[in-house]
Amino acid sequence: MPKIRDLMTRDVITVSLKDNVFEIAVKMRDNDIGFIPVVEGKQAIGCVTDRDLVIRGYAEKHSGSTSVETVMTKPCVKVSPDITADEASRIMAEKKIRRLIVEENGQLVGVVAIGDLAVRDKLRHESGEALSEISEPGLEPVGSR
């Protein structure tokens, strides 16, 4: 079973507490992503999803200059790069989330998304199971409020 270390995205786009909602939205647009870790130094202290921007930002009538702290999810689920893809899939299903922050020695080293699990032929089944549990009707994902 592959380790998350082998599947994760290593070049992670991040923001800091100095950033605002507009800057996060631009980074998401420019990098075609929907998830950005919030860091202090090299440690992830939270994360922002495109859903967070909509639900906690714009739907609450916050302006683009609103601080990242207003919309970020804190804490985010973090895992070691040494867990297996099966373990990551189980965590995603349990927590009803689609992405995990990967940390080693307290430092952000990557992000693994459910799509990263799906790209491996052997893992399509596990990621499909996790996605079906995450997408179960009537359940709001953890960390999306």
Q: Which residues pair with 144 in a beta bridge?
A: none
Considering the domain boundaries, does residue 140 fall inside one?
Answer: no
Q: How many CA atoms lie within 13 A of 39 on its CB side?
A: 19
User: In terms of Cα–Cα distance, which of 73, 141, 144, 81 is closest to 116?
Assistant: 81
Residue 68: pLDDT over 80: yes
Residue given tokens 């507009």 in the structure block = 22
Considering the domain boundaries, does residue 17 fall inside one?
Answer: yes
Considering the domain boundaries, does residue 107 fall inside one?
Answer: yes
Residue 142: pLDDT over 50: no
Convert the pLDDT of each residue in 70-110 to its tens digit. Answer: 999 999 999 999 999 999 999 999 999 999 999 999 999 99
**How big is the CA angle at 12 (ends 36 and 74), to the nearest 5 degrees?**
35
Considering the domain boundaries, does residue 143 fall inside one?
Answer: no
Can you tell me whether residue 112 is helix, strand or coil? strand
What single-letter amino acid sits at 40? Answer: E
Cα–chain center distance at 9 = 11
pLDDT given for residue 137 in this prediction:
57
Convert the pLDDT of each residue in 17-48 to its tens digit. Answer: 999 999 999 999 999 999 999 999 999 999 99
Number of domains, the chain: 1
Mean per-residue pLDDT of the chain = 86
Tokens of 103: 């940390």
Residue 119: pLDDT over 80: no
Considering the domain boundaries, does residue 91 fall inside one?
Answer: yes
CATH number at residue 58: 3.10.580.10
Considering the domain boundaries, does residue 76 fall inside one?
Answer: yes
Yes or no: say if 56 and 66 are a contact pair by the CB < 8 Å rule.
no
The domain containing residue 15 runs over which residues? Answer: 4-134
| pTM for this entry | 0.79
